[in-house]
Amino acid sequence: SAPLSIVRGAGEAAERGVLMRTGEAFQALRRVNRVVFDKTGTLTEGRPALRTIVAMACPEQELLALAAAIEAFSEHPLARAVVEETFKRGIALSEVEGFEAVPGHGVRARLGEAKLVVGSPAFLVAEAVDLSVQDERITELEGQGLTVIGVARDGVLLGLLALGDALRPDAADTVRRLHALGIRTSLITGDNEQAALHFARAAGIEEVHARVLPAGKATMIRQLQEGARVAMVGDGINDAPALMQADVGIAFGSGADIAIESADVVILNQRLGAVLETYAVSRNSYRKIV
């Protein structure tokens, strides 16, 4: 009977490190013909490392101390990388107050009377920070597939931090096997176009949507659903609405709580290929049903 087949499939999925949170997830997954991947922490390992520091209006040491003081409050993988590097160098953190995260953009806090902002170039521009002197440098760093974040104090750019992440080792293989099954692929990210293209090319993903704001991810999924049955794979706070909107939301168990709660399927190991294997299991359990 149908319920028995679904239970059997769930057991097979569990053996592969995949938790199916609902029976409906199986039904929806076997009909999926487009998989949309988030970039940071999903297609990539989500452990970016600091690669380049451009200190402008203060010493490198102070730039890191300020950035890490704010980022210590953030759950973002970029934030962790900044804090780790600062600890590695034995730099003491400044004490900040009034931390605020702006998902998909960056973070804000106060240091005494001063207002600190750390985030994407677009975010700093929106916060009235002039980045024009570093335009070429930013383009050059992003062209290397790096994510550039700026650090500003009271509207003045103090410097840039460029971070690099690694593609998950099974990303290209997973994408190639999805394509062989006739499933199309997309990359959706809040990051810059150059970094998005860099990782899409490396993984073989067909289509790229970059600089997408958190709310925009769900809207983008809705648009893709006009012509397809869409699975979204994500890990971050900002992926939650898109995971809910997709026909099947797939989250990494290492991701943000809200992402896991918004997903139908949770990958408990660190293997992207688990998505594909669970798809195969869902196809097989369907055959058992009919």
For binding to ligand ADP (CB under 6 A), which residues are involved? 38-40, 71, 74, 76, 78-79, 104-107, 118-120, 147, 149, 189-191, 236, 238
Q: Which residue has the tokens 């974040």?
A: 149
Tell me how far, at minimum, the Cβ of 187 lies from ligand ADP, in Å: 9
Q: Binding residue for Mg ion (CB under 5 A) from 9, 150, 236, 249?
A: 236
Backbone angles phi, psi at 188, to 5 degrees: -130, 130
Nearest to 133 by CA among 51, 68, 211, 57: 57
Tell me how far, at minimum, the Cβ of 217 lies from Mg ion, in Å: 10
Q: Which of residues 22-51 bind Mg ion (CB under 5 A)?
A: 38, 40-41
User: Given the complex with Mg ion, which of 44 and 282 has the nearer CB atom?
Assistant: 44
User: Given the complex with Mg ion, which of 38 and 142 has the nearer CB atom?
Assistant: 38
Nearest to 276 by CA among 172, 197, 199: 172
Q: How many residues bind Mg ion (CB under 5 A)?
A: 5
- Residues 194-233: x where in contact with Mg ion by CB under 5 A, - otherwise, as a string: ----------------------------------------
- The Cα 100–Cα 205 span in angstroms is 34
**For residue 225, what are its two tokens?**
């659903």
Tell me how far, at minimum, the Cβ of 17 lies from ligand ADP, in Å: 22
Edge-to-edge order in the sheet of strand 97-102 = 49-55, 156-164, 147-153, 114-119, 106-111, 97-102
DSSP string, 77-110: HHHHHHHHHHHHTTPPPPP-EEEEEETTTEEEEE
Tell me how far, at minimum, the Cβ of 107 lies from ligand ADP, in Å: 5
C-beta nearest to ligand ADP: residue: 190
Site of interaction with Mg ion (CB under 5 A): 38, 40-41, 235-236
